[in-house]
Chain A
Amino acid sequence: MRDPLISLAYLVASILFILALRGLTSPEQGRRGVLLGEIGMLIAVLATLVKREIVSYEWIAAGLLLGSLIGTAISLRIPMTKMPERIAFSHAFGGLATALVGVVEYHKLRGLFGEDAIRVTAEHGISRLTMGALGFEVFLGSLTFTGSIIAFGKLQGVITGAPVTWKGQNAINIGAFFGTLGLIGCLIAMPESAPHWMFLVVCATGLSLGFLAVLPIGGADMPVVISLLNSYAGLAACATGFALKSNILIIAGALDGSSGLLLSIIMSRAMNRSFANVVFGAFGGVEGKAPSAGAAARSYNEATVEDAASVLRASRSVIVVPGYGMAVSQAQHAVRDLAGALEKNGTQVRYAIHPVAGRMPGHMNVLLAEANVPYDTLYDLDAINDDFSHTDTVLVVGANDVVNPGAKTDTASPIYGMPVFNVELARSVIVLKRSMNTGFSGVDNELFYLPNTMMVLGDAKKTIQSLSNEVKAG
């Protein structure tokens, strides 16, 4: 009677997980969704704990306690600007957990660390399907683990954010990938007798591929990478479900996997890359990008804070376009303050959020929400792009590629075809930027040299603070 009840509990938990995700269609329902997800998880964990196979609870209690402490500490203390790092970190943990479960299961069935375990569990044989699922599980799990650690390092600035490239990297990666598939094939062919080194090599190539595949990717491509790693973590959980014959793992893994896949598709579309281009690591930022000589010599309107403030004061409508630069200088609260001053002045302030602005999907929305910007003033690309032509002033805060008109006209530009905001159609554009350097992407931006563009150089946060002081004083 115990086993069917456990299965039913898992079914209830799976339904609650789907309802939890459905809640995320709006912020109001979202919190109720989180509660449903938590209840589902509690049910699933309790059902697992009464399983007959579990005989001792010391290690379990220790793990649950330690994990809860780490999870709570991180969630309560992390600032919103660090959300991409926290997501990369949790993908690493997810990958680690699935890979370890795979290793333990293999050991249980084949005796990787000695034969004792096999005798104890007295399983009768290992099927080809189980072996195949285990192979994919440890491969994807370990790939997600190291890949996410590298992504974390790049976001954190420990590893250079610039693309790291070397000769033949695609050939090596693709070779290692197919080599691993071949080894998993061998494991499937001889589930009972394949030598242990094959399994260990699958783990090892998973670990090194995660490292090799993410290292070449530049910081600006992080939204795609994080979404893809999300998808891999989900697929690894699915493979675990097949290996352990656990439906709830298959369902939760499929939900996670499809979410990651959908986000990767949205992100790559927003960068005008084909999905295949992204998957095979030919991340656009890498190849062929000689910054045009003489770019530095072009003239632009450098404006003072006072000039920019008087333009803003005279505007009836303002659209703010935030980018990664806003996160770097932690300017979201200053932006909110400036918007408040403008609104007091009777100006309508809205925000235009590009899907790939920042380092992860939805990064800018969370930052602005943290600064108490009402979410109904945040607009997507499609929702606001036609409004720029009848807007008085656009304020670009640390965004670059997403406001580059070259993406629409310059076929030679590496970002040609990427959907961008029509900011140049506004009456005037104020660009806040650290310096006139093009940065490592090396793409020059026509917008900065247009007659209706004012460049205000310096730290975004400081500039915005003095802008709001000016607006308030005026």
Chain B
Amino acid sequence: MSENFIFGLYIFALATFVGYQVISRVPPLLHTPLMSGTNAISGISLVGSLVAAGAKHDLISNILGFVAVTAATTNVVGGFMITDRMLRMFKKGPVGSVKAKAG
């Protein structure tokens, strides 16, 4: 077991825990924006794709990297845009139209 791997496990465990805590506070109302938002964030695989597409490999690596960059960028750009588009639609009603309910 290398130090690096153990270190990675620490990060994985803590990030999962933080993710679980943060996401369990997202109300069901926003579960669809949550999905498209996490989807945009997981487009971070761009970090790996960019290296594959731009490093000094052979042509086939660069082409596969290019496809990966395209796919990941689609998710990043599309994911953030559509999340914002959805969130813009959520509006509160005029005050007092419905009796406020705690919860």
| B57:A108 contact, CB within 8 angstroms | yes
| A57:B36 contact, CB within 8 angstroms | no
A246: contacting residue among B31, B47, B76, B86, CB under 8 A:
B47
| A247:B11 contact, CB within 8 angstroms | yes
A25: contacting residue among B27, B54, B56, CB under 8 A:
B27
* Chain B proximity mask over A286-329: 1 for CB below 8 Å, otherwise 0: 00000000000000000000000000000000000000000000
Least Cβ distance of A380 to chain B in Å?
5
A263: contacting residue among B5, B22, B31, B41, CB under 8 A:
B31
| B23:A259 contact, CB within 8 angstroms | yes
CA distance A266 to B50 in the complex (A): 35
Chain A interface helix/strand/loop/mixed: helix
Q: Range of interface residues on chain B?
A: 35 or more
A238 to B, closest residue via Cβ? B12
With A75-B85, A262-B23 as given contacts, are A107 and B80 in contact (CB-CB < 8 Å)? no
Instruction: Pick the most buried of B23, B47, B77: most chain A CB atoms within 10 A of its CB.
Output: B47
Q: A10 to chain B: which residues have CB within 8 Å?
A: 47
Interface size on A, residues (CB 8 A): 125
8 A Cβ contacts from B8-57 to A: 8, 11-12, 15-16, 18-20, 22-57
CA distance A18 to B41 in the complex (A): 10
Interface residue A348 (Cβ < 8 Å from any Cβ of B): yes
* Chain A proximity mask over B79-94: 1 for CB below 8 Å, otherwise 0: 1111111111111111
Q: A33 to chain B: which residues have CB within 8 Å?
A: 37
CB-based closest 5 A-B pairs: A67-B73, A374-B93, A63-B69, A362-B31, A71-B78
Least Cβ distance of A360 to chain B in Å?
6
Q: A86 to chain B: which residues have CB within 8 Å?
A: 36, 78, 82
Interface residue A423 (Cβ < 8 Å from any Cβ of B): no
| A67:B42 contact, CB within 8 angstroms | no
With A24-B33, A37-B41, A48-B46 as given contacts, are A104 and B70 in contact (CB-CB < 8 Å)? no
Interface residue A121 (Cβ < 8 Å from any Cβ of B): yes
A114: contacting residue among B26, B31, B48, B58, CB under 8 A:
B58
| A18:B72 contact, CB within 8 angstroms | no
